[in-house]
């Protein structure tokens, strides 16, 4: 498989089919990221297309001091922020931040099996404030480092770490709320 930097050089040299190879390489990952961040399939598809269009147009200005993957995720992140800004998500307040008595994630996972647990996590993740959701998606689903996420989001590394910590705590709390609600419905039903 040809490295990204060689494909970029070929695209800059006028070989459009080299960009098709980059698109195929990152298409699923970019779509997965947009879907997790935007929570809507149509918006995610549109945002993924917009990401690749902006990447293609911006490729002449791409400085190779960063990896192509980091650069395209940064474009993706900003495209998603634009979509979210248009929808004006609810504002997160410090009052929402109560991390006391968080459940053990292993206990939660044992309560659900396979796909059911993945759907539970995906639903809970979709309800998180964007600032936490985006960092969690980039770190846990795209396996990017703190440094890469900091470059993509424009946040200091310590903020990335803080958002990951708080995002995980909020995610655990929301999963527990869903789990307890389902157990209560079963008991009452």
Tens digit of each residue's pLDDT (9 = 90 or more) over 46-82:
999 999 999 999 998 888 788 999 999 999 999 999 9
pLDDT at 87 over 80: no
User: Phi-psi category of 14—alpha, beta or left, where left has phi over 0 and alpha has psi -120 to 50?
Assistant: left
Same-domain pairing of 30 and 65: yes
Tokens of 71: 């650069």
Same-domain pairing of 75 and 22: yes
Q: What is the pTM of this model?
A: 0.65
Tell me the pLDDT tens digit for each residue of 136-146.
Answer: 999 988 889 99
Same-domain pairing of 125 and 163: yes
Domain C-terminal end among 87, 115, 145? 87
Residue 129 or residue 111, greater confidence: 129
The CA distance from 158 to 130, in Å, is 18
Same-domain pairing of 98 and 83: no
Number of structural domains the chain divides into: 2
| Residue 119, pLDDT score | 81
């Amino acid at each position: 498989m040809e490295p990204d930097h060689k494909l970029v050089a070929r695209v800059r040299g006028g070989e459009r089919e080299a960009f098709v190879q980059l698109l195929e390489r990152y298409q699923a990952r970019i779509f997965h990221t947009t879907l997790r961040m935007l929570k809507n399939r149509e918006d995610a598809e549109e945002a993924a297309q917009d990401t690749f269009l902006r990447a293609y147009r911006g490729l002449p200005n791409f400085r190779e001091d960063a990896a192509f993957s980091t650069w395209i995720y940064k474009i993706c992140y900003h495209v998603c922020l634009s979509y979210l800004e248009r929808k004006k998500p609810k504002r997160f307040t410090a009052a929402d931040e109560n991390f006391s008595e968080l459940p053990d994630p292993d206990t939660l996972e044992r309560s659900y099996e396979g796909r059911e647990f993945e759907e539970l996590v995906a639903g809970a993740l979709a309800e998180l404030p964007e600032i936490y959701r985006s960092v969690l998606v980039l770190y846990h689903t795209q396996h990017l480092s703190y440094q890469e996420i900091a470059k993509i989001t424009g946040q200091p590394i310590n903020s990335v770490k803080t958002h990951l910590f708080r995002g995980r705590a909020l995610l655990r709390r929301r999963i527990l709320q869903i789990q307890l609600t389902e157990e209560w419905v079963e008991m009452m039903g």
